[in-house]
Chains A and B, each alone.
Chain A
Amino acid sequence: MSRVRPYDGGPLLLGVRHHGPGSARAVRAALDEARPRAVLVEGPPEADGLVPLVADEDMRPPVALLAHAVDEPGRSAFWPLAEFSPEWVAIRWAVEHGVPARFIDLPATHTLAWNTGECTPEPEPEPEPEPEQEQEPEHTEGPAPSAPSTPSARSEEAVEAVRVDPLAALAEAAGYDDPERWWEDVVEHRGTEGDVFAPFLALGEAMEALRETYGTGGHDRDPVREAYMRLQVRSARKEFGDEVAVVCGAWHVPALREKRTVAADRALLKGLPKVKADITWVPWTHRRLSRASGYGAGIDSPGWYGHLFGAPDRPVERWMTKVAGLLREEDRLVSSAHVIEAVRLAETLAVMRGRPLPGLTETTDAVRAVMCEGSDVPLGLVHDRLVVGDVLGEVPESAPAVPLQRDLARSQRRLRLKPEALEREVELDLRKETDAERGRLLHRLRLLGIAWGEPVVSRGSTGTFRETWRLRWEPELAVRVAEAGVWGTTVLSAATARAEADAVSAESLADVTGLAERCLLAGLPDALPVVMRALADRAALDADVGHLAQALPALVRSVRYGDVRATDTRALAEVAAGLAERVFVGLPPACTALDRDAATEMRRHVDAVHGAVGLLGEAVPAAHGDLRARWHSVLHVLSQRDTVPGVVRGRAARLLLDDGELARDDTARLMGLVLSPGTAPADAAAWIEGFVGGGAGGAGGGMLLVHDERLLGLVDAWLTGVSGEAFTDVLPLLRRTFSAYEPGVRRTLGELVRRGPGARGSAAATASGTPGFAAEPDAGRADAVLPVLRLLLGLNEDDRNNENDEGDEGDEGDEDAMRTGNSSVEVGA
């Protein structure tokens, strides 16, 4: 063999670019050629024990090594590895050839502790401090995207130091304006035929020249890390002899070649801070590898790199075929002729730009010009699906995990809820045991801040037994899981502990009631007492009616939900009733002297409380008396007190009318009062808005006017009486009120008004007669319906023996008969 001896006076140093497919191929070829007795890889040595897992058939890259501090799981670091990462290739090679593989970088124990030394503004996990640092030499734009995304003091420091970009210097020397492309042209796109070691040698020399000029280039921690690496390499050589291969960032190669004394290296490593660290494999995605995202490994195009690494030959042709396939799936017209032309254009472009092979830029330009008709829209699709890609890695179950994570995995398996990177919606039917469990699990995870699922509004059904979730598993959720590990070892216990802590530290009353609701949804009965206590305390201290009113609905929902779930919510009902009482007392005084916005706000509160009281009615303990009746009296007070703003007064009147607590005549009187010339038009308009306007429960306002012509007449008479100047004032309010109606209702109203005063007069004469119907019901014909009605309502005191089959058969027909007033159907004989 006429090539350079691989182990020329020392270990074989393979300097690479992290996540470079060309480097990966070169590393594989070099290892095949050199056949070392041990492979050393840059990475945290704690992971040595995890190396055998690489060979596991369930292990599928992209994956990442996740190291986190044991007592502070939020403090973590990642070392992402894709299929095309040289490190991954090296480890796999070692495992396949039965050669020991070791990680030689500074232990995570120290790197994690480094972060503790500085105050981190928030316990955000800090993305991959190690790889990030090493990537900078290779990924020259690295600092820019990674610095803002990582709040770590370390990168700030590094940014502050004048950063030298070694690769940019090399690229500039070669006449490239983009260092990334230079690297691709010079290293990645070269095949590995010929001497497999030559590229590494040349690269090492170039780096050496650079480091002579620039020193550590602003990476302050490099000397320490490199000292550790040197020590590790030394001990490996003691064990395996010289035939050791080292795979590390090209930037470190000169430092590893350097001759230093053991003592000097040891001195550097003395007194490093330490923290207890745990390490494991976690699944990763291509999207996370890409630069755009926060946990990125700093590569733009993992999908393209994966393709370059995976394609056996003719990468451009294969890529174009893939693109064409994708575009065809999306119903774009792409023929083989397009593919041919795109390949031609890409190759000619590469020649034009003086590149050895078409890179991503050339292929993208070609795809845009030939297949996408110059448009960037389909191109975006290509970028999203292919250039970045939607690959989610997998990790074998035997990988060590934080206890919580293991528990979560167990639950996921049991409930057959697989974490997937692709977003999807699931519908849960809470009446089924599995679905209910799933819902609880997702609710618990949400409590823990693990936003795997997001509740969305159910389509079609509004039943309380249905839940719809949008699921999407992001790799960083693994971090969240690790973080949540502080709270407990199982999902249930962690969620309970978290809820209790949240209840104590909650800011407002509404937060606590919301928390109570979530506790019920998540099935955390053990957390409830604490939450309830917090709730009672808060409620007692909070004097603001608005807050109380805000808090009530969630609480009442919880009570109702508890009923559905057969959870014991008596205590909750007690608190809710107490809260309601205080709202009753506080509301009338709180409703005076409000400006327009505050009045609108108050009207919403009234609506909310009304709904809540309606739900609460049956659930309250007897000691509280009839809540509904008391609420009605409150509403009466509101509707008649002049100092209460019009919109609230109108609303109260309307609510009373709907509940049958206010007679029609009284309503008309109230309305007449308000709409009489003595009232300011603006106030009157506000009243109308409150009375017939939209909003929660007010949707039927239009129908009310349609069916009660007297009220409509009142409104009409008032409106025609409003003076010209005042009309412009009230117009916006009225517009807002009436434009919310459905078109049909508006049309009917318009027609009714057009019929004019005559119709109105007759309507007034026949009280609340509906147009098209006689004033008095036809008693004889109506009586015929009674037996069926009785049947349906179960009021049938006469024991008729055939009532069952009669009832069943007659149901449909009877209803029709009642609706049309047609009494010819004889039933109940």
Chain B
Amino acid sequence: MSVAWCTVDTRSEAADQAELEGDSVMPVSVDPTTVDDDRNQSASANAPAGPDAHTSGHAAAAEAPAEALRPHAEDAFAAELAALAAQDDRPRPARWKLSPWAVATYLLGGTLPDGTVITPKYVGPRRIVEVAVTTLATDRALLLLGVPGTAKTWVSEHLAAAVSGDSTLLVQGTAGTPEEAIRYGWNYARLLAHGPSRDALVPSPVMRAMAEGMTARVEELTRIPADVQDTLITILSEKTLPIPELGQEVQAVRGFNLIATANDRDRGVNDLSSALRRRFNTVVLPLPESTDAEVDIVSRRVDQIGRSLDLPTAPDGIDEIRRVVTVFRELRDGMTTDGRTKLKSPSGTLSTAEAISVVTNGLALAAHFGDGVLRASDVAAGILGAVVRDPAADRVIWQEYLEAVVRERDGWTDFYRACREVGA
């Protein structure tokens, strides 16, 4: 037995290379259930929107990350990662691109001794990032919990990028995620033609991460059906993935780890079994603590997104951003910031991520149809759309909020008018 896995192990590097080649040769359409594609494919699949689609057309595999609507973390922040790696003299766990300290710095931001400024990727309690990085360093799997829009995916992507230099080994959890997405699938044409062999095997991102000692990511773990979730148990506890058809197995090499994200608002969809839960260290990502922190996050992200979309920068956006954040926070908490008035909360989550999208949207409006300055009228429509999810109940809540709070507030007259106009 041990001989068998030994051979697997020794050839795994080469084999993986071969498999990757094979994959790019073989179009994904052969096996529609396999979610893992080759990397460039997945990049383009993630970004099939916008005018780029015309220009790049079918040649999505073209290696032009600059053209991607949203480049991967490791590409977008390649310079920072390189600078960190160059300065990093602390011990690194096997196959880690950076030491745990550098990973934490990458996420939390800071200034390196040579003056390179690392932008903060996650604005929030330091403790959370430290626990997350330490968890990965102790080769425990990490489960990020939080309500939608608390940067779970964002943190997991950046962690994977910093630790393994690759954030694309991703399984998107859905109600229809099959076991093949987590273990492996078969290339049936090859299987029929040549019989079962490693060549006919289509590895999942998890399998690939195990073989290469990389960080795999599972998004929305609790949406995956329970029986499929259970395939993770052996992978996480024994760090091995048996392939009974071939009498082989893939053993995880050092450096392999897994980051899962789950939504704790609808955790009941497919609750984790305690056996699986036990194999994760859990970190809950909170909503931003204060208005200022949230304004900071929103303006930072809006700036980044705006740059990648080539939106002209709006000079005086911070006040509007603050206003959006205040509206969101107040409606979310069911209370005004001064703690005097109770409010009803609408059905939407009104997360920071939504605030970001409202502001980005407003910026686009201001740039293309307005005078380039972000004004109340530009964000009003976006806010209305984010708040009013249920046309009946939420609209009433929104109207009440407008009349009771917004109208009374000093300096909010323009915002009030804009909202009235949109809502009418």
**Residues of A bordering B, CB below 8 Å:** 333, 335, 337-338, 341, 344-345, 348-349, 352-353, 361, 365-366, 368-370, 372-375
Docked CA distance A374–B125 (Å):
14
- Are A344 and B138 closer than 8 Å at their CB atoms? yes
Min CB distance, B75 to chain A, in Å? 27
Total A-B pairs, Cβ < 8 A: 54
Are B100 and A352 within 8 A (Cβ)?
Answer: yes
A369 closest partner in B (C-beta): B281
> How distant is A323 from chain B, measured CB to nearest CB, in Å?
15
- Chain A residues with Cβ under 8 A from B127's Cβ? 361, 365
B278 in contact with A369 (CB, 8 Å): no
Q: How far is the CA of A361 from the CA of B131 in the complex (A)?
A: 11
Q: Is the C-beta of B164 less than 8 angstroms from some C-beta in chain A?
A: no
Tell me the bound Cα distance from A344 to B284 in angstroms: 19
CB distance from A353 to the nearest CB of B (A): 7
8 Å CB contact of B130 from A365, A373, A375: A365
Question: In the assembled complex, which residues on chain A have CB atoms less than 8 Å from the CB atom of B135?
Answer: 345, 369
Q: How far is the CA of A591 from the CA of B140 in the complex (A)?
A: 77
Query: What are 27 sample pairs from A and B whose C-beta atoms fall under 8 A apart?
Result: A333-B274, A335-B278, A337-B278, A341-B140, A344-B140, A345-B131, A345-B134, A348-B137, A348-B138, A349-B130, A349-B134, A352-B100, A352-B101, A352-B133, A361-B127, A365-B127, A365-B131, A366-B131, A368-B131, A369-B131, A369-B135, A369-B281, A369-B282, A370-B282, A372-B282, A374-B283, A375-B284
Evaluate contact between B104 and A352: CB separation under 8 angstroms. yes
Cβ of B145: which chain A residues have Cβ within 8 Å of it? 373-374
Query: In chain B, residues 291-326, which have Cβ atoms closer than 8 Å to a Cβ of chain A?
Result: none
Contacts of B281 in A (CB 8 A): 341, 345, 369-370
Q: Are B282 and A373 in contact (CB under 8 A)?
A: yes
Q: Taking the complex as formed, is B11 at the interface, i.e. its CB lies under 8 A from any CB of chain A?
A: no
Which residues of B are found within 8 Å of A338, using beta-carbon distances? 278
Q: Which residue of A lies closest to B285 (CB)?
A: A374
Which 8 A-B residue pairs are closest in the complex by CB-CB distance?
A374-B282, A374-B284, A369-B281, A373-B282, A348-B134, A349-B134, A344-B138, A348-B138
B389 within 8 A of A: no
> How would residues 248 to 263 of chain B score, 1 for a CB under 8 Å from any chain A CB and 0 otherwise?
0000000000000000
Which residues of chain A are within 8 angstroms of B138 by Cβ–Cβ distance?
Answer: 341, 344-345, 348
**Contact digits for B60-103, partner A, Cβ 8 Å, 1 yes 0 no:** 00000000000000000000000000000000000000001100
Looking at the assembled complex, report how far the CB atom of A335 sits from the nearest CB atom of chain B, in whole angstroms: 7
Q: Which residues of B have CB within 8 Å of A337?
A: 278
Q: Once bound together, how far apart are the Cα atoms of A375 and B145, in whole Å?
A: 10
Q: Does B342 lie at the interface of the complex (its beta carbon under 8 Å from any beta carbon of A)?
A: no
19 more contacts with CB within 8 A, not counting A361-B127, A374-B145, A374-B283, are: A338-B278, A341-B138, A341-B281, A344-B138, A345-B131, A345-B140, A348-B134, A349-B131, A352-B104, A353-B130, A365-B127, A368-B282, A369-B131, A369-B135, A369-B282, A369-B283, A370-B281, A372-B282, A374-B143
Q: Taking the nearest CB of chain A, how far is it from the CB of B146, in angstroms?
A: 9
Q: Distance in Å from the Cβ of B262 to the closest Cβ of chain A?
A: 10
- Contacts of A368 on B, CB cut-off 8 Å? 131, 282
Contact partners of A370 in chain B: CB under 8 A: 281-282
Report the interface size for chain B: residues with CB under 8 A from the other chain: 21
Say yes or no: is B277 at the interface (Cβ < 8 Å to chain A).
Answer: yes
Q: Which residues of B contact A374 (CB under 8 A)?
A: 143, 145, 282-284
- B134 contact set on A, CB distance < 8 A: 345, 348-349, 352
**Residue of A333, A335, A352 most packed against chain B (CB within 10 A):** A352
Collect the chain A residues with CB atoms within 8 Å of residue B282's CB.
368-370, 372-375
Contacts of B101 in A (CB 8 A): 352
Nearest Cβ on chain B to A80's Cβ, whole angstroms: 30
| Cα-based distance from A353 to B104 in the complex (angstroms) | 11
A784 to B135, CA, bound (A): 86
Residues from chain B with Cβ under 8 Å of A372 in the complex: 282
A126 to chain B, nearest CB (A): 33
Complex: chain A residue closest to B127, CB-CB:
A365
Q: Which residues of B contact A361 (CB under 8 A)?
A: 127
Instruction: With a 10 A CB-CB cut-off, give which of A337, A370, A372, A375 has the most chain B CB atoms.
Output: A370
Q: Please, which residues of chain A bring their CB within 8 A of the CB of B277?
A: 373
CA distance A352 to B127 in the complex (A): 11
Give the distance to chain B from A815, nearest Cβ to Cβ, in Å: 54
Q: Mark B133-173, 1 if CB is under 8 A from A, else 0.
A: 11101101001010000000000000000000000000000
Q: How far is the CB of A327 from chain B (nearest CB, A)?
A: 13
* Shortest CB distance A172–B (Å): 18
Query: How far does the alpha carbon of A337 sit from the alpha carbon of B277 in the complex, in Å?
Result: 12
Residue of A nearest to B274 (CB): A333
Tell me, in angstroms, the Cα distance from A345 to B130 when the chains sit together. 11
Q: How far is the CB of A608 from chain B (nearest CB, A)?
A: 35
Q: How far is the CA of A237 from the CA of B143 in the complex (A)?
A: 63
B124 to chain A, nearest CB (A): 14
Q: Which residues of B contact A344 (CB under 8 A)?
A: 138, 140
Cα of A422 to Cα of B138 in the assembled complex, Å? 40
B73 to chain A, nearest CB (A): 21
Q: Which residue of B lies closest to A372 (CB)?
A: B282
Q: Is the CB of A352 within 8 A of B140?
A: no
Chain A residues, Cβ within 8 Å of B100 = 352
A361 to B127, CA, bound (A): 9
Most buried by A among B100, B101, B281, B282: B281
Q: Which residues of B contact A341 (CB under 8 A)?
A: 138, 140, 281
Q: Which residues of chain B come closer than 8 Å to A349, judged between CB atoms? A: 130-131, 134
Complex Cα distance, B256 from A74, in Å, reads 65
Nearest-CB distance from B312 to chain A (Å)?
A: 40
Q: Across the two chains, which residue of chain A brings its CB closest to B137? A: A348
**Chain B contacts of A365 at CB under 8 A?**
127, 130-131
Contact yes or no, B278 A352, CB < 8 A: no
